[in-house]
Amino acid sequence: MNINLLSLEVKKWIYLEKIHPPCLHAKRNMDIKIRPLHERYHIPNVKKTLTVLEMLAKHPRGMTFAQLMDATGYTKTTVFRVLCTLLDLGYLQKKSDDRTISISRKLVALAYASLSEKNLSEISLDVMREIRDYTGETVMLGVLLESECIMIDQVEGTHFFIFSGKLGMKSPLHASAPGKAILAFVGDEEREKLLSSITLNKITANTFTDRAKLADELKRIRARGYSTDEGEVISGVNCVGAPIFGTNGKFIAVVWVTATSERIRPEKFAEIGAFIKEKAAIISGRMGHGLI
């Protein structure tokens, strides 16, 4: 199609949308069928790829190759090519049984980057301010991206001297309150994958470098519902955080406070942790946790 014909086609779309929204086409027997407005320009393989992704999104535990064939009605070759492409690009992942396939964190992160981060920040902002007002400290919000916690928003503290990070700031999973909250509250299988992908580098004298001790710490975090960081990334800086969950109880984000060890002392961890846990639960409810 040349440029002039394409221009005429676009004008026709605009006209049809005005006089026949949402472009309903009636048959002679008066049955009404809704057809996509731009169906003639659809790319079949893209539609098939998105259908596979939508099917996997409905099955968080994953699906096998045969199950995807049955559910989509696509041929063995089609499903194979779609899966190979998405696996190689990192948008899908294979479970430990090497048969079950599920959506990866890369696809989730892509969604956050385009939409959810803004919504999550907007939904969380008033609660983050409540945490700031209660503690007086800077409150940060982060999500998991690949093998690190990425800070996506913050509310600065009220003290003369505060900690403030740049959006996109990264926190190591094994040595930070938000990172350990992520490791503690993601699913068991994802936790094992994350742990196998990271090196427990010693950053300060308090950093967890022993996997068995880190595993015990994660159990404690799950039991009490909040995480702490006692100078594990920066000596003299402490943090306390709690997880945010979405539908199906899946971990989606973490909210935490950070300050000097003089202001957030270890003896205050339990009080601050309980408060942040309570406020994080409010955000979780807004994100659909407990609805289904």
> How far is Cα 12 from Cα 146, in angstroms, rounded to an integer?
44
Residue 87: strand, helix, or coil: helix
Q: Which residues pair with 266 in a beta bridge?
A: none
Q: Which residue, among 135, 103, 292, has the nearest Cα to 226 in the 3D structure? A: 135
The structural domains of the chain, ordered by start, are 30-103 (1.10.10.10), 106-286 (3.30.450.40)
pLDDT reported for residue 41:
82
| pLDDT at residue 59 greater than cutoff 80 | yes
Q: Which residue, among 287, 269, 164, 275, has the nearest Cα to 227 in the 3D structure? A: 269
| pLDDT grade for 157, boundaries at 50, 70 and 90 | very high
* C-alpha separations of 243 from 88, 108, 180, 286 in Å: 30, 17, 10, 14
179-217 in b/e form (b: 16+ CB < 10 A) is: bbbbbbbbeebbbebbbeebebeebeeebbeeeeebeeb
> How far is Cα 124 from Cα 207, in angstroms, rounded to an integer?
29
Q: Residue 129's CB: how many other CB atoms inside 10 A?
A: 12
pTM of structure: 0.62
* C-alpha separations of 223 from 142, 184, 216, 226, 227 in Å: 21, 10, 11, 8, 10
Q: What is the pLDDT of residues 234-285, one digit of tens each?
A: 999 999 999 999 877 889 999 999 999 999 999 999 999 999 999 999 999 9
Q: Which residues pair with 24 in a beta bridge?
A: 34
Q: What is the pLDDT of residues 177-198, one digit of tens each?
A: 999 999 999 989 899 999 999 9
How large a percentage of the chain has pLDDT more than 90? 61
Which ranges of the chain would DSSP assign to H, the alpha helix?
A: 3-19, 44-57, 65-72, 76-88, 105-111, 117-135, 177-185, 188-197, 211-224, 269-286
| pLDDT grade for 109, boundaries at 50, 70 and 90 | low
pLDDT reported for residue 40:
80
Average pLDDT of every residue of the chain: 84
pLDDT reported for residue 184:
97
Higher-pLDDT residue of 112 and 273 is: 273
Give the phi and the psi of residue 23 in degrees, each rounded to 5. 60, 65
